[in-house]
Structures are given as structure tokens and as C-alpha cells.
Amino acid sequence: MRRSFTVGLLVIGLSGIGQRPIQAREFMAQFSNPSEVRENFWVRARQLTQDQITLLSRIEEAIASPDPNQVRTARGQLVLHLSSVDRFLQSQYPLPNVLCAPTFRGLSGESDALEALVSTTSRLSPEQTQVYCNLYATTRELSPLLPQLDRRLGALTDITPLRPLPLGGEPPGVAAQSFGPLTPSAATASTTPPSPPPIIGRPAKTAVSGYVPPPPPAIAPPADITARLQVAQQLTTRAQGLFPVGTQFLNPRELRSPITPDADLQRIQQSPDYSRLLALPNTGIARIQPAEFYATSPGELRNRLIPTPAEQTPLVPLTPPVGQAAAPERTPSIGLSTARLEAPLTPEVEPEGFAPRFAVQIADGQFQIIPRQLNYGFMVGVGDVPIDRLNATLTPDVVNLSPQLRSFFLNYRPPAQLEALQVDRRRFITGKVGELGLTQTLQSQVPIVLNQTYVMRLIQFELPEILLTGQRIDPRDRRNLDRILNTPSSDLLVAFRPVSQGRDGTYTAIWRILAPFPDPQITNLEAYVLPRN
């Protein structure tokens, strides 16, 4: 009699909570075969937990993006996930608010009996009950995000239009459903080929006179959504520790973050052959990325508050910044040192002052010197030559270069006039080097061959901002002309050797500075910044 009275109270209590009243007979019938109820609990719970990890990452990414299509997709996936979790909870125990909070104060003193009933009808183990309740608590945190994402969606449609939905639209109550990563730039990026880089010192013409493209929007993630995501993330992390030993989960945050410990770099640095080489002065190790890693499109839709991958992982410096002392035992910085790899990697901090960098990228199956601003150079493969055997004079019995190329590598000097400097730069980019007295091809890019050594001249400048913007110096600032037009530069003879290729298409290379050349000087910059008469 007491048991029936308790079940009756349970039904009444659930009706007050807002769930569908469940008759005692129906309630008990669901647990007539507990083994069927709990069948494949861990398999289904693991999949839902993994989906939840992915969903939290997707929502976090969507609210930081100016693209409303990402928000719409995240909302649709949230609706589907909430429905899937609810079905799973009902299949294991139809009263999650009772199982996860069994003590109901005020039910006519029947709390003890109610707890006894819950423990009798639930056949979940303590660990399963905790996973069950973590899923339930997480859905209660995520459900209020639906109207918040709707408001976010409406606010972002003023920035860019929504893309048409596939298959004639979306089902009622469910926003866009997408399976796979979105590309925010697809909404606004132009399909026209990229324009050639502007010539430094020459004003660029635009289709509309005086038009300046607007900067990318600055999108601050809403604090209310962020707070709920943090709570949901804590609950999900706690649930992962309750699964059987050996259960693995994949975190998309770790996959998309470019700042992660690199086992390949660690392996190379710890290898006896490479560790001996890296112990030499003026050596280091660097990751060579595809050109797309560094490229930014004017039509790309992005949040300027979030640094790009290239901003998070700047190019490896070859020497310490100007004005900073060298390391005690090594002349240059090696970029990724053994000491650094032993600690968790953190986002790079740009050093103060100018520092020449290992500016090499991958483009169309070739290594290419990154043509940023006025930087340029030329390179050539010299075969399977140990990098530690090379020297500053490129000794003929070690380096298989023709006398003409060897002389050019050692004797070339950049022009001192801005126009002539850019003419030379274009010659090496296009390979038209006949006017430089060369009968052999010499370019700023070469085919990629793993475990081949390359030699390059790397010429870099840090141009003054006023020259890049095409502005003119106010006559009152003429006395500061030298400071305004200060242009740090470097000219280095560098050898590098790709020793490993990653699955993502990147290469890991060992580099060594063979010789520095006098810093190139541009002597006529004032002609491009002083007011015209």
C-alpha cells in the first residue's frame, strides 16, 4: 500500500514539474526487463557524448564568426542533439529529473520511500547514473541557447546574407542541417583570380576613386551564450572521466588549433643526427606551410578579433631582433628549440624589432620564397649534401653548382633604388634573369624533393608604414625624415633541408645560415613620401 501511494505521489509530482503524467502501471512496465533497457548503454552514451563535444565546439566557433550560416547550422545541430539525448534518457529511465534529483522535499514526508522506489526501478550502475545525469544536466544548459542563437542569427544577417538551404528548405522547428565544416569565406569571397601585388611606392588604382574596403567585423561572443557553454563543457569533461578505461573522445578544438605539441618536431630534435646538427651555431628547425596558410583574401569573411593561423604561428626568426642580444650559447634564435618543445606550446609573441625570418612556403608543389611586400630572393637545389658540410663560400667540391651560379650567389647585391629593386624582384619571381647576366634559370621557387639540400639568398625589408599606405610626409615632419623612413633589412645566404613530410602536406626543414651579406639600403625613399611640387 505504501509503495502504491509513493508511486501516486511520484505521478502527481511529475505533473507539477511539467512532464507528461505517467501511470504507475506504465511506469513499472518499462522496467520489467532491465537488461534490455540498459543494452548498449556505454556505446550509445559515448556517441552522444562525442556528439556533444563536437556540438559545443561548433557553437563556440559559430558565435565567434560573422557568418550567420554557421549560427544557423549550429542551431539545427543543437535541435537534433537535444532530441537524440532525450530519446536516450527516456529509454534508460523515463524520469531523469527524479533519478538525478531523487530527494523531493515537501512530498508529505515520502522522500525516503521515493528514493527507495528510484533505486529499485533504476538498474543503472553508479557510473552510468552519473553519465546519464550529466547528459541530462547538459541538455538543460543547452536548451536555452535556442532563442539566444535565434537572436544572434538575426543580428548577423545584416552583415552577410544567408545561403539558400539545400533540398528545398528545412523542416519545421529545425534550422539548417549541415554535415561537415563550413567555409565562412564562401558566403562573400570573390570568384575572380587574385590581383597581382601592388608596386611599392606607386599608388594603386581602384574601381571607385578613393574607395577603401571596410575592415573585417569585430565580433565579440555573447557573454550569456559563452557562460552556458562553459558550464556545459565542464559537465561534458566530467562525464568523459566516468566511461570505462580506454574510451577515447575526439576534441575538434585540438584538431583545428595550429598551436599544438608536434611529435614530428620532437622526434627530429631528439634524433642523434639532427640533434648534433642543431647544436651548431646559426641553425634551427622550421615548419614549411602551404601558401594558403599565410594568404588572406579581401573578400574573406572573418572576425578580426580572432588571429589568423599565420598570426598565431609567425615565421621562425633566423636571428635575434635588431637591438636584442643573442642567446648565450648560440648566435641566432632557432625558432623551435628543444627547451621549448619540452613545454606546452603557446601562441608566438612577435619579437620587438626587425628580425629576418625563414620565409619559405609551399606553392604548386614547389618551395617558394614568400613574396611579402618587398621581400624576395632566389634558391636552387644542390642535391643530397649534408647541410653541415656547406660553408660560406659554397666550395665547389661540396656544392654541385656551375661557376656562374656560384659566383652569382656570392656576389649579387640588391639595387639601392626602389624601382630597380622591384624590377629584380619580379625577375626572380618570373625566372627572366637574362638581363642579370645569367644563362641558367634561377628563380624564387624550386621543385620539392625530400631530403635534398637547398641554398637560397633571402633578402628582406621592414618597410615604413607611410610608404605602404602611399601617404605623404607633412612638411613639419621633415626633420624626422630619417626616423620615419627607417627601413631595417637583411641579406642572408641560407641552406635548408626538408627532412620530413606531414600528413597535412607541410614539411619540416632543418636550416642553417651560411653567411650574412651587408644589409641592403634603399637610398631614394624620400622621393616617394615627400610632397610633389
Is residue 528 within 8 Å of residue 417, measured between CB atoms? Answer: no
- Mean pLDDT, to the nearest integer, of 428-432? 91
The predicted pLDDT at position 217 comes to: 62
- Predicted confidence (pLDDT) per residue in 464-494, tens digit: 888 887 778 877 778 888 888 889 999 999 9
Q: Are 200 and 418 in contact (CB under 8 A)?
A: yes
CA–CA gap between residue 342 and residue 338 (Å, rounded): 6
189 pLDDT tier (thresholds 50, 70, 90): very low
Model pLDDT for residues 114-143, shown as the tens digit of each residue? 444 455 456 788 889 899 999 999 999 999
What is the C-alpha to C-alpha distance for residues 129 and 136, in angstroms, rounded to an integer?
10
Range list of H helices, 443-531: 465-469, 481-484, 526-529
From CA 387, how far away is CA 248, in angstroms rounded?
A: 42
Beta sheet of 445-447, edge-to-edge order: 360-363, 366-369, 445-447
Nearby residues of 418 by Cβ (< 8 Å), 6 or more positions away: 200, 201, 522, 524, 525, 528
E-assigned strand segments in 295-414: 360-363, 366-369, 376-383
Q: How far apart are CA 399 and CA 393, in angstroms?
A: 10
Average pLDDT in the chain: 75
Supply the pTM of this predicted model: 0.59
Which amino acid belongs to residue 233? Q
- Predicted confidence (pLDDT) per residue in 390-423, tens digit: 999 999 888 889 999 999 999 999 999 999 999 9
Closest CA to 261 of 204, 193, 340, 191: 340
pLDDT tens string 46-102: 999 999 999 998 898 888 777 788 888 888 999 999 999 999 999 888 888 888 875
Cell numbers standing for residue 253 = 578544438
Chain centroid to Cα 71, Å, comes to: 19
Report the alpha-carbon distance of residue 291 to residue 311 in Å, rounded: 14
10 Å CB burial of residue 410 (0-12, 13-18, 19+) is middle
Short-list 518, 489, 493, CA closest to 355 = 489
Q: Examine the pLDDT at 301 and tell me if it is beyond 60.
A: yes
The share of the chain scoring above pLDDT 70, in percent, equals: 65
Other C-beta atoms closer than 10 Å to the C-beta of 224 total 12
